[in-house]
Structures are given as structure tokens and as C-alpha cells.
């Protein structure tokens, strides 16, 4: 059985994460390879401790700025963890990824709809618009449904879109 981290390790991880996030404001620091590796370590440590915000942030970072397929897969895994914990931005991003053809995954509109439903439930306004469009047009694995499209249009309008 894995022992939970002592409180001081969690505090150290939180402080390092906050410092690393603030360091992003200084491009000269971010361009330094040693500093960037340290910052990535702080993001990774906080994400591995189960912090949803850190999982979402580091997942996006790895997905779009990571080098290699392994980094992108880890980014997707972290986004899935964050989305399952209720992060709307991560769920929205996973819905977009489900509609992109990739070497390891086929386009899956039904899975995209599931992720976007989670994003809508978390309050992501653009997810409702995308979901309405998906229901209106249908897609691989998802039949068109005008009634669900109308409901999502109404939700998007309520959120200001």
C-alpha cells in the first residue's frame, strides 16, 4: 500500500508549483533549459499529487508544447484525470481531441459528445455550442438529433453565446 505524502511534501510541491506558474511571466527565464526543466518538474509533481488544476494545466502544456508522442499521451491522460474530476476546460479539450484523426485513435463523435456533456455540466459555455453543432450534424458513432441540438443551442444561449 502506498503511503500518503506527508503534509510538508505537499506544501513544498504547492509552493514550487506557485513559483513555477509565476515564473511563466518572464520569457527570459522560460527560455533557459535548466529553469524550464525545473518548472516542468514542479508542474509534474503537483499534477501527480492529484491537483485537478495542475493536471489540467500540465496536460494542456504537454499536449501542445510537449516533445514527442509520449508527452502528448501523458498530456491526454492528465486531461482525462482532470475532466473526470470535474474540470470543464479539460473535458472540452478532450471532446476536441476525439474529433481529430490520429495514428492511435479514430474519430469518435459519441465520445466527444460525452466529454462535451461533462464540460457543459461544469459550466463551459463553448462546449454547449460545439455539442449543439455535433448533434445537428451527427458524426462517426453518433446519429444526428435535432431535439438535442435545440436543447444545447438553448443552453449555449443561456450562457451568453
What percentage of the chain exceeds 70 in pLDDT? 97
Helix (H) or strand (E) holding 93, with range, is helix 88-98
Handedness of CA 5, 39, 124, 84 (dihedral sign): negative
Judge whether residue 95 has pLDDT over 90.
yes
Confidence band (pLDDT; 50, 70, 90) for 159?
confident
Last residue of a domain, one of 46, 70, 85: 85
3-class secondary-structure state, position 2 = coil
The residue from 63, 85, 107 where one domain ends is 85
Q: Tens of pLDDT along 73-83?
A: 999 999 999 99
**Burial class of residue 65, CB neighbours in 10 A (0-12, 13-18, 19+):** exposed
**pTM for the predicted model, two decimal places:** 0.87
Tell me what the mean pLDDT of segment 51-60 comes to: 96
1 pLDDT more than 70: no
Q: Which of 45, 62, 85 is the last residue in one of the domains?
A: 85
Same domain as 161, residue 109:
yes
The pLDDT assigned to 146 comes to: 87
Is the pLDDT higher at 67 or at 32?
Answer: 32
Determine the structural domain holding residue 136 and report its residue range.
88-161
Same domain, 10 and 37: yes
Average confidence (pLDDT) over 8-31: 93
Identify whether residues 77 and 5 lie together within a single domain: yes
In this predicted model, what pLDDT tens digit does every residue of 123-151 receive, in sequence order? 898 999 999 999 988 888 888 888 888 98
| High-pLDDT (> 90) share of the chain, % | 63
Residue 61 per-residue DSSP state: H
Residues 78 and 137 in one domain: no
Confidence class for position 5, pLDDT limits 50, 70, 90:
low
140 in the same domain as 75: no
Residue 157 has pLDDT above 80, yes or no: yes
**Three-state DSSP class for residue 6:** coil
SS3 labels along 95-141: HHHHCCCCCCCCCCHHHHHHHHHHHHHCCCHHHHHHHHHHHHHCECC
Number of domains forming the structure of the chain: 2
Quote the pLDDT of residue 106.
Answer: 82
Amino acid at each position: 500500500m502506498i503511503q500518503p505524502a506527508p503534509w510538508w511534501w505537499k506544501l513544498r510541491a504547492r509552493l514550487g508549483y506557485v513559483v513555477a506558474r509565476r515564473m511563466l511571466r518572464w520569457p527570459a527565464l522560460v527560455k533557459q533549459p535548466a529553469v524550464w526543466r525545473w518548472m516542468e518538474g514542479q508542474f509534474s509533481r503537483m499534477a501527480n499529487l492529484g491537483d485537478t488544476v495542475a493536471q489540467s494545466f500540465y496536460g494542456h502544456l504537454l499536449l501542445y508544447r510537449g516533445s514527442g508522442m509520449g508527452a502528448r499521451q501523458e498530456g491526454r491522460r492528465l486531461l482525462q484525470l482532470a475532466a473526470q474530476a470535474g474540470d470543464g476546460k479539460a473535458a472540452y479539450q478532450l471532446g476536441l481531441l476525439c474529433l481529430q484523426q490520429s495514428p492511435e485513435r479514430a474519430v469518435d463523435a459519441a465520445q466527444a459528445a460525452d466529454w462535451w456533456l461533462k464540460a457543459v455540466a461544469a459550466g463551459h459555455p463553448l462546449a454547449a455550442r460545439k455539442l449543439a453543432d455535433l448533434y445537428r450534424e451527427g458524426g462517426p458513432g453518433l446519429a444526428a438529433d435535432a431535439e438535442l441540438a435545440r436543447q444545447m443551442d438553448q443552453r449555449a444561449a443561456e450562457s451568453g453565446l
